[in-house]
Amino acid sequence: MRRSLLLRTLPAAALALLGLAWQPALADDAKPYAGQTISVLLPPWGTLPKALTDRFTAKTGIKVELQSLGWDDIHAKILTSMVAGTAPADVTEVDWSWVGQFAAAGWYQPLDKVVDTAVLADTPAAKIFTAGGKLIAMPYNNDFRILIVNREHLKQAGIDTLPKTPDEVLAAARAIKQKGIARYPLALPLSATEGTSTAWYLLTKAFGGDLFDADMKPTFTDPNSAGYKALAFEIDALKEGLIDPAATGLTDVQMQQLFTDGKVSIDLAGWAGNPAVYDDKAKSKVAGQIATGMMPGTGGKSRTLGLPEALGIPATAEHKEAAQAFIAWWAQKDTQADVYAALGDLPPRLSALKALNEQGKLTGGDTLLAQAGTVEPLFAGGTPDWYPQFSSTVSTSINQAAKGQMTVAEAIAAIAEGAKEAMEP
Amino acid sequence: MAAALPLSARPSRRFAASDALLGWALLAPIVAVMLSLVFIPLGVTLVDSLYRVDPMRAGQPFIGLRHYVDLLTDATVRTGWANTFALVVICVVLETVGGIAAALLLDRIRTGRMWLLAAVIVPWALPPVVNAIVWLWIYNPSYGLLNNILQAMGLIGERVVWFNDRTTALFLVAIVHVWRMLPLTAIIVLAALQSVPEELYEAARLDGAGPLRSFTTITLPLIAGALGIAMTQSTVFAFNLFDEAWILAGASLDTRTVLIQVYMSAFQQLHFSYGMALSVLLMLASLAVSLFYVLRVYRETRID
């Protein structure tokens, strides 16, 4: 009798222990990884203040060594480390655009069993980091694009409502320019950088289209297509003097700086986390003057693009379990709210977003919540491994068109050819 | 006496053997360094460029010269070559002419030369990234010094976005590189100038030679060796130009060098062996050009 009870109890106990092992315990009395130090490699906007990491250390006993690097540099560091068979860090940045590459190379440890299913369901952006049915990174910010305007500039130009279509955006920009409120009212990057590509993808959606069909054939080559119209929109606005000619050398972040300086009026590809920055007196000259709106679109519909960033654990990481505990901690609602307060990273969990809005802590909260429901991934089937090569062709071609070295038609043809080459095995 | 000869010869052979051993022992560290850091990686790169090494794809099949054939038809790579050759020409010419001029001036200065030399080598001593960032501010279309100066002089009306024109962009990138590398050429040439005997110039003056003739018949031949070294380093560094172009214009096709293309292929697009093949071609081009004109300069200016 006692033996049968033991036999029945043992598997249950084993399962319970296994469950504990997979879900790193965060309770004060369970600190299995206390004393370990994990390295965390993130860009400046993900680099937590010490007060927050100290809180994690107090909970788990795990020390955090934060490394802050530029976004591009992190990519290069991950690549070189992984090829050399070493770990760039125990936890690293994983951008949505790297997912195809990293998944194909098998460089990141699946996190499906690390994060609770309820948390995953509450984090729609997690789908973007799922490749081959496996979650390779857990979102830590909820970057999608919205319309951000300098309300005062629009008001001075006699415009009371936010533009809802691309044509209304142009009309507003023209009015602002004519009245001499801003010399170049429209902020759109046109340099050979990733931000230029993503702005074009976003505008393609705004014009009601997509880049590829279900067979991954380009759908932007027809002059009536959304992608073609989106590029023509950008180049025409530049020629009309609505975009600064220096935009050919400016990144999206530098464009945002122009907005905070009050030099531009309409941030057409605004980051969802930026209203908090633009409205912060310590960081912006236009604090208190901004308004947020849904991404302008055609056909009465607003569409936007999800470009989130996530935390992943390299397969070569030394302290995987402690790294899992860190990711699980960051996935908590409270942590995400604290990170938003400290860094402006919009929480990827919808419940955290709603809670912040209810507390009145979310700048442009209603817009963000409404737009969050319309977020689409750029690639419905997951970011392909050829994306970086394609994206490089996109930004280079747009940059050349903006410099007058290519027509819109030539740039579109170059992008289509670049897509074909990138997809070649 | 006959028996004494071998006895006296024996120690000298022993000394010779120990000299040879000492020579090899002294050479060993540099041989080890060159093997491990240059020749073995070079060999690995050469071999890997014949395979498809791409972490996103399973296996590493042998593909022979396919990458090299693809590189010939890659329009982006061709643009990179055109940019690189243009930069090499501009940089080598400006660094050589400017370096000789700076060295001649420094050679004439007797007091305070030490301080002047220290000031001259500052751009060379600074990290290339720092140099490039300083120049990025100078070229900035909104608040840059270059636009301000030209506007103040009345040479331009509107502010100019310098990097919107390909030729200007290439020239401005080259200027930043020249700014950094010219001091090295100047120092090399100055060292050679100081070894030219003053009597030769006096003799030439007595024979009625002017400064230009003295320069072409005495100075230039006697500094030819140093000039060859200076031009070789100028060429190699210009072929490997990366930081300045990357910081000033990023991945822009107008200023994208072959080395930037290597970086993008290997480390952004993860086509490692494609990047390796391109880097092999870059090394060969750099060697060939350096060898060509170094030999030519040496042949035309040497004194037998």
pLDDT digits (tens, 9 = 90+) for B88-113: 999 999 999 999 999 999 998 888 88
Cβ contacts (< 8 Å) between A249 and chain B: which residues?
A: 141, 161, 163-164, 249, 252
Q: Which residues pair with A186 in a beta bridge?
A: A243, A266
Beta carbons of A192 and B253 less than 8 Å apart: yes
**Average pLDDT in the A92-116 region?**
91
- Neighbour count for residue B143 (Cβ, 10 Å): 9
Instruction: Note the pLDDT of residue B10.
Output: 56
Give yes or no for B78 touching A (CB within 8 A): no
Please determine, for residue A397, whether its predicted confidence score (pLDDT) is greater than 70.
Answer: yes
The whole-angstrom separation of Cα B44 and Cα B27 is 24
Instruction: Note the pLDDT of residue A162.
Output: 95
Please determine, for residue B14, whether its predicted confidence score (pLDDT) is greater than 90.
Answer: no
Mean pLDDT of chain A: 89
Residues 204-243 (B) with a CB less than 8 A from some CB of A? none
Question: To the nearest whole angstrom, how far is the Cα of B304 from the nearest Cα of chain A?
Answer: 51
Mean pLDDT of chain B: 90
Beta carbons of B166 and A405 less than 8 Å apart: yes
Beta carbons of A76 and B252 less than 8 Å apart: no
Residues 35-94 (A) with a CB less than 8 A from some CB of B? 75-76, 79-80, 82-83
- Over the stretch A80-92, which tens digit does the pLDDT of each residue have? 899 889 999 999 9
Beta carbons of B56 and A404 less than 8 Å apart: no
Question: Could you give the 3-state DSSP secondary structure of residue B20?
Answer: helix
Give yes or no for B57 touching A (CB within 8 A): yes
Q: What percent of chain A lies above the pLDDT cut of 90?
A: 64
The whole-angstrom separation of Cα B272 and Cα B275 is 5
Instruction: Note the pLDDT of residue B18.
Output: 84
Question: To the nearest whole angstrom, how far is the Cα of B250 from the nearest Cα of chain A?
Answer: 7
Q: Which of B56, B141, B268 sits opposite A104 (nearest CB)?
A: B56
Query: Are the beta carbons of A38 and A67 closer than 8 angstroms?
Result: no
- Over the stretch B109-150, which tens digit does the pLDDT of each residue have? 888 888 888 888 899 999 999 999 999 999 999 889 999 999
The whole-angstrom separation of Cα B217 and Cα B301 is 8
Sheet holding A266-271, edge to edge: A186-187, A266-271, A145-150, A290-293
Beta carbons of B253 and A83 less than 8 Å apart: no
Beta carbons of A249 and B249 less than 8 Å apart: yes
Name the residue with higher pLDDT: A27 or A132: A132
Beta carbons of A405 and B269 less than 8 Å apart: no
Query: Are the beta carbons of A90 and A323 closer than 8 angstroms?
Result: yes
The whole-angstrom separation of Cα A148 and Cα A295 is 9
Q: Within 13 A of B187's CA, how many CA atoms are on the CB side?
A: 18
Question: To the nearest whole angstrom, how far is the Cα of B217 from the nearest Cα of chain A?
Answer: 48
- Chain B residue with minimal CA distance to A101? B56
Residue from A314, A390, A322 nearest A93 by CA: A314
Sheet holding A91-95, edge to edge: A63-68, A37-42, A91-95, A309-312, A138-141
- Burial (0-12, 13-18, 19+ Cβ within 10 Å), A178: exposed
Please determine, for residue A24, whether its predicted confidence score (pLDDT) is greater than 50.
Answer: no
Q: Which of A82, A83, A248 sits opposite B164 (nearest CB)?
A: A248
Cβ contacts (< 8 Å) between A392 and chain B: which residues?
A: 251, 264, 268-269
Q: Which of B161, B252, B268 sits opposite A399 (nearest CB)?
A: B252
Cβ contacts (< 8 Å) between B166 and chain A: which residues?
A: 403, 405
Q: Which of B57, B161, B268 sits opposite A248 (nearest CB)?
A: B161
Residues 115-154 (B) with a CB less than 8 A from some CB of A? 141-142
Instruction: Note the pLDDT of residue B40.
Output: 95
Give yes or no for B268 touching A (CB within 8 A): yes
Beta carbons of A192 and B142 less than 8 Å apart: no
Which segment of A1-10, A59-68, B268-277 scores lowest on mean pLDDT? Answer: A1-10
Give the contacts of A187 (CB within 8 A, at least 6 positions apart).
A243, A255, A256, A258, A259, A264, A266, A267, A268, A269
Q: Which of A100, A104, A392 sits opposite B251 (nearest CB)?
A: A392
- Chain A residue with minimal CA distance to B163? A249
Instruction: Identify the residue among B253, B261, B271 best suited for mutation to test binding to A, counting A beta carbons within 10 A and taking the highest.
Output: B253
Query: Are the beta carbons of B282 and B211 closer than 8 angstroms?
Result: no
- Residue A29 pLDDT class (50, 70, 90 cuts): low
Cβ contacts (< 8 Å) between B144 and chain A: which residues?
A: none
Dig out the tokens for A203 from the structure. Answer: 């505008």
Beta carbons of A101 and B270 less than 8 Å apart: yes
